[in-house]
Chain A
Amino acid sequence: DSGVTQTPKHLITATGQRVTLRCSPRSGDLSVYWYQQSLDQGLQFLIQYYNGEERAKGNILERFSAQQFPDLHSELNLSSLELGDSALYFCASSPGAGILPNYGYTFGSGTRLTVV
């Protein structure tokens, strides 16, 4: 157990629907990152939150949005889903206060989203 909790583990939904993915960061970590992993594109950075504030944006579609709550958990909302949104969605966390020597992100186990 990495300490980063993602729910649900699997999600199957129809095109056009909206889903919410949830992430609880490792205890003490202030930053949350969302990544999308598809077979052909690898891990693509979507968005970063640090202590409740959006810190960086990557290749996140306008149909997608995220937020980080006061208890530091984060939610990724995906709407008007398309077949191409099927992927693994990972959340990762880090202390966020600076780079610690020999420290990387802690990743969750991911949510596998299948759009049918």
Chain B
Amino acid sequence: EDQVTQSPEALRLQEGESSSLNCSYTVSGLRGLFWYRQDPGKGPEFLFTLYSAGEEKEKERLKATLTKKESFLHITAPKPEDSATYLCAVQDTSGTYKYIFGTGTRLKVLA
């Protein structure tokens, strides 16, 4: 059964203090790994898709990387506006396009 585990559950950083969020996954065949950002009371917002081990994607202060078993979301010099819950999801090769989501990492960046 497909499974996605995110760590840590919550993370508090000072502004400018870089860190990484982890997403480990178990899937029979990986079609894609997705990162989303979710603000309180809102729907998740798409950030990145990673398809194969070794792939990297960047957007502003965020950089996502992928290995065969896990993905990392690196946050460089974060700002308070980066505070949100970051969700990781996988899509398998079963022929549907459903996601299996992790439970997320709640990030709080303090000014």
- Indicate if the CB atoms of A58 and B98 lie closer than 8 Å: yes
- Residue-by-residue, is B18-56 near A (CB-CB < 8 Å gives 1, otherwise 0)? 000000000000011010100001111111110000000
Question: Which of A2, A55, A103 makes the CB contact (< 8 A) with B43?
Answer: A2
Known: A99-B31, A110-B43. A42 touches B101 (CB 8 A): yes
Question: Which of A41, A55, A104 makes the CB contact (< 8 A) with B96?
Answer: A55
A42 to B91, CA, bound (A): 16
Interface SS, B side: strand
CB-CB nearest in chain B for A42 = B103
CB neighbours (8 Å) of B99 from chain A are: 33, 43, 45, 105
**Contact residues of B with A, CB < 8 Å?**
31-32, 34, 36, 41-49, 57, 87, 89, 91, 94, 96-104
CB distance from A74 to the nearest CB of B (A): 15
CB-CB nearest in chain A for B6 = A42
A44 to B98, CA, bound (A): 10
A102 to B102, CA, bound (A): 20
Question: Which of B57, B91, B97, B103 makes the CB contact (< 8 A) with A96?
Answer: B97
- Indicate if the CB atoms of B49 and A33 lie closer than 8 Å: no
Question: Which of B45, B98, B101, B103 makes the CB contact (< 8 A) with A56?
Answer: B98
